[in-house]
Amino acid sequence: MDDLKNIPEEGDIVFANVKQVTNHGAYVALEEYGDLTGFLHISEIATGWIRNIERYVRPGQKIVLKVIRVNRARSEVDLSLKQVSGEEKKSKIIEVKKNEKANAFMKIIQDKTHLSKEQIKEIEEKILTKYDYVYDLFEAVAKKGIDVLDVFEFPADVNKTIEVESSKISLAHVEIRGIIEISSHKPNGVDIIKSILGNVETKGNTKILITYIAAPKYRLVVAADNFKMAEKSLNNCIEKVKLAIENEEGHFNFIRQESKKTQQQLIH
């Protein structure tokens, strides 16, 4: 339920719907700006000579473009496809998808709580003081629980609806797996190993699970929101366990297995 802006600024990355293709370029509707018409000149579609424009843009197609010129007096917007980087395109698509999902969630909240459009807007504005996107709040509730709503002091029925809708979000995460081989020849070796593995800490959204396979092998699974976080936790875990068992004159080895990305809930 984002407010429509009047006209974009030069340099903005926008989401557009191709309406008409001509020999000179394409006319598009900028959905975030009340379907304001913009023009994509053939010279800004791709580098080099273009034999057939419709190989690049077609009526009905939705594309990510960059604003390169704006005439506010005439409400004219010139756009570029070739100047959009891969990262800018990816970021814009994520933004659009988040806004679409957030709009759907907020419509459900309005229907279930019978709040006015003005009250829903106030809720959105409060959320945006803490999060970049309204959808990020729902994702935070899905990951961390309803306590993240305490700071907003929303009515109880709003909190409950947010909790219910957040529970429908499938949280993508990555898993790094491996086999820890750990042993000790000391008389109390079993207790030493249990103590070392039991002291492995789970921090933040990263979850670590260690399960017994058969002496001296244990399965290690590190789950996180992304591979960077998972790798960092994995390395910290391995280093901690290795140092601890070697201080006890024991043996340590780690065998890395295939990583994977899933849509399941994080390991608890």
The Cα–Cα gap between 14 and 30 comes to: 7
What integer pLDDT is reported at residue 2 of this predicted model? 44
User: Does the pLDDT at position 268 exceed 60?
Assistant: no
1 confidence band (pLDDT: 50, 70, 90): very low
Please give the average per-residue pLDDT across 144-173, as a whole number: 90
The Cα–Cα gap between 162 and 108 comes to: 9
The residues of the chain that CATH labels 2.40.50.140 are 13-83
Q: How do residues 225-245 score in pLDDT, each as one tens digit?
A: 778 888 889 999 999 999 999
Q: How do residues 82-117 score in pLDDT, each as one tens digit?
A: 999 999 999 999 899 999 999 999 999 999 999 999
51 confidence band (pLDDT: 50, 70, 90): confident
At position 89, the amino acid (one-letter code) is K
User: Does the pLDDT at position 262 exceed 60?
Assistant: no
User: Does the pLDDT at position 4 exceed 50?
Assistant: no
pTM recorded for the entire structure:
0.58
Q: How do residues 53-68 score in pLDDT, each as one tens digit?
A: 989 999 999 999 999 9
The residues of the chain that CATH labels 3.30.70.1130 are 173-262
Q: Which CATH superfamily is domain 87-166 in?
A: Translation initiation factor 2; subunit 1; domain 2 (1.10.150.190)
What integer pLDDT is reported at residue 227 of this predicted model? 83
Mean pLDDT score of the chain? 89
Does domain 13-83 fall under CATH 2.40.50.140? My reply is yes
The residues of the chain that CATH labels 1.10.150.190 are 87-166
Please give the average per-residue pLDDT across 201-223, as a whole number: 85
* Annotation: CATH topology of 173-262: Alpha-Beta Plaits (3.30.70)
Q: How do residues 118-137 score in pLDDT, each as one tens digit?
A: 999 999 999 999 999 999 99
